[in-house]
Amino acid sequence: MAQIDNLPPLRDVIERHDLRAKKSLGQNFLLDLNLTCRIARAAGDLSNHTVIEVGPGPGGLTRALLHEGAKKVIAIEMDPRAMGALQEIADHYPGRLDIIQGDALKVDVTELAPEGPVRIVANLPYNVGTQLLLGWLEQDAWPPFYDSLTLMFQKEVAERITATEQDKAYGRLGVIAGWRTHADKLFDVSREAFSPPPKVTSSIVHLTPKSNPLPCKLRYLEKITAAAFGQRRKMLRQSLKSLGVDHLALLEEAGLLPTQRAETVPVDQFVSMANILARIKPD
Ligand code: SAM
């Protein structure tokens, strides 16, 4: 195992703070600091950035972010048992680590580092991760408060986030992520890298905001993608019926064939459909 700082090995930290992984908190810890350093580097140059880290647990990734030169890290962790371990890291890097104990779904991260710039890095339980990702993609203000998101997901979810049309995994997540960001799957992380090992392989996804995404109201994009992918095997002339509008006219105006299926429609045309829907059936 790599020695990147003079702090004790993560196994000892976990033992000393009685941080046995809890399933209810989706805890699968990374113990290899070589790997966490690789993830930290995937977030890009951190020397001018405040990194908001969600779900640091015993701090393997936190240590890597600080070691790799993050100007500052603000870590949000729900598990009170992790506070002692995180405080030791804060003491080792004076003034560079702030710890917030709480549920990341309830913390307003937009206000944490008003001076900016900010990057977000997280290895979270999958359901919380997807929910947070959607929240970060759905910001009213765009470009948003962050320069990038570097996130761990189950591989299958990572493939959905980064999918484009024609990919098997293309769906609502790919459309929403593709509308506002450039999303790339960087590398896989095997089950064995975690303690305890999860059921499936994980992947790191890196997203950077597009500076000028096509204007669109997210709720209409949600409606269109829900209808279109709700019945992804069906042609659009069938699946979009549920919108309760003249969907054939909508398709024609968006330049799409009624016989196309959702998985063949590029993001820009989903945005066109969403904007047409907003005009003909505003809510
Ligand atoms: N980042 C650490 C690592 O890579 O070893 C821990 C990863 S573990 C998969 C997920 C962490 O997120 C756990 O420490 C868990 O307690 C924390 N967590 C789960 N739900 C959370 C939430 N809603 N808000 C903040 N932290 C959460």
CATH topology for 218-280 is Helicase, Ruva Protein; domain 3 (1.10.8)
Q: At the fourth CATH level, which superfamily is domain 10-209?
A: Vaccinia Virus protein VP39 (3.40.50.150)
What is the average pLDDT value for the chain, to the nearest integer? Answer: 96
Query: Closest Cα partner for 113 from 89, 144, 142?
Result: 144
Query: Closest Cα partner for 122 from 142, 146, 143?
Result: 146
218-280: same fold as 10-209?
no
The rounded distance, in Å, linking the Cα atoms of 193 and 219 is 38
* Span 145-174, pLDDT tens digits: 999 999 999 999 999 999 999 899 999 999
Instruction: Break the chain into its structural domains and give their ranges.
Output: 10-209, 218-280
What pLDDT band is residue 115 in, cutting at 50, 70 and 90? confident
Q: Which mutation among 1, 112, 124, 194 tests ligand 1's pocket best, with the greatest number of atoms within 8 A of CB?
A: 124
pLDDT score recorded for residue 1: 60
> What burial class does residue 94 get, using C-beta atoms within 10 Å of its C-beta: 0-12 exposed, 13-18 middle, 19+ buried?
exposed
pLDDT score recorded for residue 3: 82
Verify whether ligand 1 is closer than 6 Å to residue 171 (CB atom).
no
Q: 0.90 cut: is pTM over it?
A: yes
Give the residue numbers of the binding site: 28, 30, 55, 77, 103, 123
* Span 69-114, pLDDT tens digits: 999 999 999 999 999 999 999 999 999 999 999 999 999 999 898 8
What pLDDT band is residue 253 in, cutting at 50, 70 and 90? very high
Verify whether ligand 1 is closer than 6 Å to residue 33 (CB atom).
no
